[in-house]
Amino acid sequence: MADEAVFLLLHNEMVSGVYKSAEQGEVENGRCITKLENMGFRVGQGLIERFTKDTARFKDELDIMKFVCKDFWTTVFKKQIDNLRTNHQGIYVLQDNKFRLLTQISAGKQYLEHASKYLAFTCGLIRGGLSNLGIKSIVTAEVSSMPACKFQVMIQKL
Amino acid sequence: MTVHNLYLFDRNGVCLHYSEWHRKKQAGIPKEEEYKLMYGMLFSIRSFVSKMSPLDMKDGFLAFQTSRYKLHYYETPTGIKVVMNTDSGVGPIRDVLHHIYSALYVELVVKNPLCPLGQTVQSELFRSRLDSYVRSLPFFSARAG
């Protein structure tokens, strides 16, 4: 699908662009990841407004998480989250066994150390989407074997 | 019927990838020299074919055949050249070479941000997918025929 390739290539260039501009200012790895995550945050906020304009109000937090796993993920990545786990105390783990932005990179351990760069934007996407639905959270990602990855969402109770 | 080896060149003559499956005789020169020789030959044959063609040229150079092997050639508009050496009995495999370009090279190398274009491909994923694709071809047999 043409639209998928456009986003994928743009995202890859964005990551390398942020890292290239960082090298000149001697900024370390963490700052680049934060920049990418903040970009994703703003995009996520906008996207969730657009996707929920016709849906009914959500019953509770779990319902919101299910929406993110099913409809939101399908619209952005053309597939659903494969596994959602929670401890019912504000921690959710979203597992995607074939994450769309990682499938082209490797199948296994090669390039594993670079994977976190390509997940930062998506972490921000989730955080932005949730924030506009009224949930303040912290989202992190971990990957042990590509292209499967896990996004951990920690809800912040105000 | 079998596949002997496969070369992948970019528009500047850099050999992006080489794999072999059945090769009984080596060229007798170092690999770098072999790649340069292959690329130079392809470049010359292409321009020769277009110059000496008695009719308007449609596809240009497609393949050459000897009594022992056949060399198939496919070039994309961006200058990526796919070269496959097979057994003499294999017919035109343009669509196979095109699949190698579009479904393997473009998907796994061009779209991979960690594979810089213009250099030899390091991606293990590309190597293993290409290998399993070639082994699955109908004219590939595990025995060197």
| ipTM over 0.90 threshold | no
Instruction: State residue B18's pLDDT score.
Output: 94
**Does the pLDDT of residue B42 top 90, yes or no?**
yes
Instruction: Provide Rg for chain A, Cα atoms.
Output: 15
pTM of the model: 0.83
Token pair listed for B93: 């495999």
Q: Summarize the confidence of residues B34-52 as an average pLDDT.
A: 93
Q: Which of the four pLDDT bands, split at 50, 70 and 90, describes residue A55?
A: confident
Instruction: State residue B142's pLDDT score.
Output: 66
Q: Would an 8 Å CB–CB cutoff place A111 in contact with chain B?
A: yes
Instruction: State residue A145's pLDDT score.
Output: 86
Inter-chain residue contact B112 with A104, CB threshold 8 Å? yes
Instruction: State residue A1's pLDDT score.
Output: 46
Contact criterion met (CB below 8 Å) for A45 and A53: no
Q: Which residue has the higher pLDDT, B39 or A25?
A: B39
Q: Which residues of A touch B103 (CB under 8 A)?
A: none
Instruction: State residue A136's pLDDT score.
Output: 92
Three-state secondary-structure class, residue B137:
coil
Cα distance between residue A31 and residue A35, in whole Å: 6
Q: What is the pLDDT of residues B74-98, one digit of tens each?
A: 999 999 999 999 999 888 899 999 9
Q: Which of the four pLDDT bands, split at 50, 70 and 90, describes residue A76?
A: confident
Q: Give the nearest partner residue to A16 out of B113, B125, B128, using CB atoms.
A: B113
Instruction: State residue B133's pLDDT score.
Output: 94
- Map out the domains of chain A with their CATH numbers: 4-155 (3.30.1380.20)
Q: Percentage of residues in chain B with pLDDT exceeding 90?
A: 61
Instruction: State residue B145's pLDDT score.
Output: 46
Instruction: State residue B5's pLDDT score.
Output: 92
Residue-averaged pLDDT of chain B: 90
Inter-chain residue contact A12 with B107, CB threshold 8 Å? no
- Map out the domains of chain B with their CATH numbers: 3-136 (3.30.450.70)
Q: Which residues of A touch B114 (CB under 8 A)?
A: 105, 111, 114
The nearest alpha carbon in chain A to B109 belongs to A104
**Does the pLDDT of residue A67 top 60, yes or no?**
yes
Q: What is the pLDDT of residues A104-158, one digit of tens each?
A: 888 888 888 888 888 999 999 999 999 998 899 999 999 988 889 999 999 988 6
